[in-house]
Amino acid sequence: MESASQAAGENALLPNHIAVIMDGNGRWAECHGLPRFEGHIAGVESARSTIRYLNNKYHIKYLTLYGFSTENWNRPPDEVSGILHLFEEVIDEEVSEFHKEKVKLRHLGHLEELPQSLQQTISKALELTKNNTGLTLGFAFNYGGRTEILDAVRHIITEGIPSQNIDEELFNNHLYTAGMPDVDLLIRTGGEFRISNFLIWQSAYSEYYFTDVLWPDFNEKVIDKALLSYRQRQRRFGGL
């Protein structure tokens, strides 16, 4: 099949910012007769290969992955601590490679509620990669979209900004994603049709791509399909 980048030629019509809700790890594990956590481990491999493929093949500029929502704290404590651990391990193992590939890491969400060692690992990774000019890779971890909007409102009030100065640009600059463009394409795996409080401001005009594929099975073929589908849509942003 013709890939999206071949079809588009010179990477025209590719999304600038892709956001992904990586759903279905638990079900994938169940399907394979494995404990749920094995699904998360397999999910990490999918995340690694997705990042590399979108960066190296399509040269996508911004990619945001939803790793852990503020609601995920309600999962069993063992699963929560396993995911936190896994996230720390991934950053530790990957950060120097990301740095070599000029990837700039961003953390979206509340850092201070995470375990100390994870906070330090994230902070070090952000510091190391902050001047990189390649792919900006956002990890939404301990992230909630409504909380992000409320945090922006609080900052604007704390800064004493007069109401007549508040416009979309100013508001954008107070979100966790300040400096990042709106989401062009939001992909959700795992067969659910909802956005679960993810980048709700930034995806106001996004195209959506929902697939039944479970996150650990997400691969280059599915990415190609999603990008081809994106390319075939007509975006009007409210115009004609």
CB of 84 to ligand FPP, least distance (A): 9
Q: Among residues 232, 236, 214, which one has the least CA distance to residue 224?
A: 232
Q: Does 222 bind ligand FPP (CB under 6 A)?
A: no
| E strand or H helix at 68 | strand 62-69
Place of tokens 């699904």: 39
Spatial separation of the C-alpha atoms in residues 23 and 190, rounded to whole Å = 5
Spatial separation of the C-alpha atoms in residues 87 and 125, rounded to whole Å = 12
151 assigned to active site:
no
Tell me which of 4, 14, 20, 47 binds ligand FPP, using CB under 6 A: 47
Q: Does 111 bind ligand FPP (CB under 6 A)?
A: no
Spatial separation of the C-alpha atoms in residues 6 and 200, rounded to whole Å = 31
Q: Which of 11, 16, 23, 184 is catalytic?
A: 23
Contacts with ligand FPP: how many residues (CB under 6 A)? 19
Q: Does 190 bind ligand FPP (CB under 6 A)?
A: yes
Q: Among residues 52, 74, 75, which one has the least CA distance to residue 63?
A: 52
Q: Does 84 bind ligand FPP (CB under 6 A)?
A: no
Q: Which two tokens stand for residue 191?
A: 């067969």
182 assigned to active site:
no
Spatial separation of the C-alpha atoms in residues 75 and 72, rounded to whole Å = 6
Range in contact with ligand FPP (rule: CB under 6 A) among 8-16, 25-33, 144-152, 203-211: 25-33
Tell me which of 14, 54, 63, 83 binds ligand FPP, using CB under 6 A: 83
Q: Does 24 bind ligand FPP (CB under 6 A)?
A: yes
Q: Which two tokens stand for residue 174?
A: 């107070």
Q: Does 87 bind ligand FPP (CB under 6 A)?
A: yes
CB of 79 to ligand FPP, least distance (A): 8
Q: Which of 72, 132, 172, 197 is catalytic?
A: 72
Q: Among residues 177, 191, 230, 226, which one has the least CA distance to residue 207?
A: 230
In the complex, the residues that contact ligand FPP under the rule CB under 6 A are: 22-27, 40, 43-44, 47, 67-68, 72, 83, 86-87, 90, 190, 215
Active site residues: 23, 72
